[in-house]
Structure 1
């Protein structure tokens, strides 16, 4: 794993080189070339964690092949993007790679690969604009520092989940700060991984105040679980009446209601991306462009992949309502933000081991 300093200095230097319009245009193939290349390749190795069910994978594969008249065999492994990234780094320099499409990693996971040139910007709109008119707008949702190197697949949007069998809706706290009151001692389920997404609060409060919140949270003896999904499960089974959850996770969990906090909305953009070592690069590019535009409706019918940028969607409407009431969205808008979040996350992890 690269040091934070080398990661960001290298990424900044690379951005100035790879994002030049002339360089992108010179390398751009035609859509027809991509489609013919995909037909010849005939296979696709996908390592995307969400959607994660076999039923969703089968429905997406069927719709993809029917849309383009292909007969591509798609092998889908719902692997963690951190593990896949580590694998890609280990494969770097070898004759061929083993993964075509990776996800759903955030800026942290993507930037580690970007820094090593395992990911490079790609002219999505130029190649696929006629087939998928929305591809330019979708591609531009990615932070500027990584634009072209990834496409948005899902926004992990955090708030509070609760079990309505254990607590009345009107008694559910509206902010993280309210969860620090003594009445919630031992009654809140939270992700044990650096109290995710507390690091995002540093974008509004600064590092010192965020660490004070972390200490107060730990002093209140939360129910710590291995991941946000696990924390949501703890709410579902009644281990805790409330807890930190995410819109898409709560929506997939039986017996859990969800709302965004009224003051801050932590939002982690999750991406899919095609490594330069992809063994089937044409099929991979076509699949990534289709899945994040037309194909997102197919995926959503199986396993919701909410994105804040999809206007009129339940998540977009929920966010708009909160923002209208004064809530502030906390998200990474640059690799400097990613660097800050990493620093705060590390400090919270240190605090938890004391």
Structure 2
């Protein structure tokens, strides 16, 4: 009898605690202007890079947490296409039908400079270090593409895997290395990290390796897996990891200095649903979504300090974000890159 009473009291207590928590949550919602505003808006439109299945996964979780958000229209859009669309619609004085925008690399700098982001410093950005968020709260990284050197495990013996960037200059790799013919962010960030003189010396020697110039990081990993070439000098780590996880004969190594390309998200300056946008940004940058969706499901890197990498090889690795301020010298960087690597050559696209 005592045991039954004890269980009954425990159940009563649990129900009571849940009821109090629910009541407190409702009270908070009633007093939070962002929640009140989001309830009235009820929908959200996002334009962002990143595989659509993972964007949809986040959107579904978001609607489950905030059931008053009836619709989330998540549209996958490459960075350059997104910026061009915003610029075109701005020139025609048309208000873009979007609330949240997400782009990568130098495009983040351009959109911030051109005034397309509205400032919103999400509380979640406290867990994100400098370099992976805008100093005035215009954007923060919702995932990170770490830079790796990838190789085909059927074509490269373990003893031959490069251990440093300088190893790519060995004569055995001549004609066997693939390289993206617009690798501007990596080029500029490498020169800044190691020093211009040393960096340019490496780049010029690297350019003499009879590189196989290809276009597009995703396509190059697919070609690597197919055995088109044994080594891919600059690859996105997440793409290599996903391909390896699917059974392809590929793997990666991180060469020091290790770089990463921030993929950032922020609120559009003329968002029709600004409160829903703020809730979405908080949710997207939360530890839960970063860990469970972008890291565990998508194999991406996270800028958050409290998220555990899916691949333990990343633990303790110092990663340097691309310096996006270098985008101010984009034309100069692109010109120098082409002079070093593409003089007398026809680009792949």
Same-fold status (TM-score > 0.5): yes
* Contact in 2 for aligned 1:190/1:224 (Cα 8 Å): yes
* 1:180-195 superposed matches below 5 A: 180-194=169-183
Counterpart in the other structure of 1:6 = none
Q: Secondary structure at the match of 1:248?
A: helix
Write out per-residue CA displacement over residues 271-327 of structure 1, whole angstroms, 9 at most, x where no aligned residue: 11111122222222211110111322342343233124444623796455445xxxx
Counterpart in the other structure of 2:120 = 122
Counterpart in the other structure of 2:72 = 74
Counterpart in the other structure of 1:99 = 98
* 1:226, distance to aligned residue in structure 2 (A): 0.9
Answer with 1 or 2: which has the greater Rg.
Answer: 2
* 1:12-91 superposed matches below 5 A: 32-50=32-50, 52-53=51-52, 55-91=53-89
Q: Name which of 255, 280, 293 aligns with 1:299.
A: 293
1:253 and 2:240 matched? no
Q: Secondary structure at the match of 2:243?
A: coil
Q: Secondary structure at the match of 2:76?
A: coil
**Cα 1:249–1:86 shift into 2, 3 Å:** same
Normalising to structure 1: TM-score of the pair? Answer: 0.76
Q: Which moved more, 1:231-240 or 1:198-207?
A: 198-207
**Cα 1:43–1:199 shift into 2, 3 Å:** same
Q: Which moved more, 1:312-321 or 1:55-64?
A: 312-321
Normalising to structure 2: TM-score of the pair? Answer: 0.77
Equivalent pairs counted in the alignment come to 306
* 1:153, distance to aligned residue in structure 2 (A): 1.1
**Cα 1:260–1:36 shift into 2, 3 Å:** same
Query: How many angstroms apart in 2 are the aligned matches of 1:202 and 1:315?
Result: 30
**Cα 1:318–1:213 shift into 2, 3 Å:** same
Query: How many angstroms apart in 2 are the aligned matches of 1:66 and 1:275?
Result: 24
**Cα 1:281–1:322 shift into 2, 3 Å:** closer
Query: How many angstroms apart in 1 are the aligned matches of 2:61 and 2:323?
Result: 33
Q: Secondary structure at the match of 1:84?
A: helix
* Contact in 1 for aligned 2:148/2:236 (Cα 8 Å): yes
1:219 and 2:208 matched? yes
* Contact in 2 for aligned 1:159/1:259 (Cα 8 Å): yes
Query: How many angstroms apart in 1 are the aligned matches of 2:258 and 2:129?
Result: 21
* 1:159-198 superposed matches below 5 A: 159-194=148-183, 197-198=186-187
Unmatched tracts of structure 1, length 5 or more: 1-29, 126-134, 324-328
Q: Secondary structure at the match of 2:32?
A: helix
Counterpart in the other structure of 1:264 = 257
* 1:314-329 superposed matches below 5 A: 314=309, 318-323=313-318, 329=319
Unmatched tracts of structure 2, length 5 or more: 1-29, 345-349
Counterpart in the other structure of 1:137 = 126
**Cα 1:121–1:81 shift into 2, 3 Å:** same
Write out per-residue CA displacement over residues 16-50 of structure 1, whole angstroms, 9 at most, x where no aligned residue: xxxxxxxxxxxxxx982222322322332211111
**Cα 1:140–1:212 shift into 2, 3 Å:** closer
Write out per-residue CA displacement over residues 163-213 of structure 1, whole angstroms, 9 at most, x where no aligned residue: 112222221111221112211011112212136623221112333443333
CA-atom RMSD, angstroms? 2.8
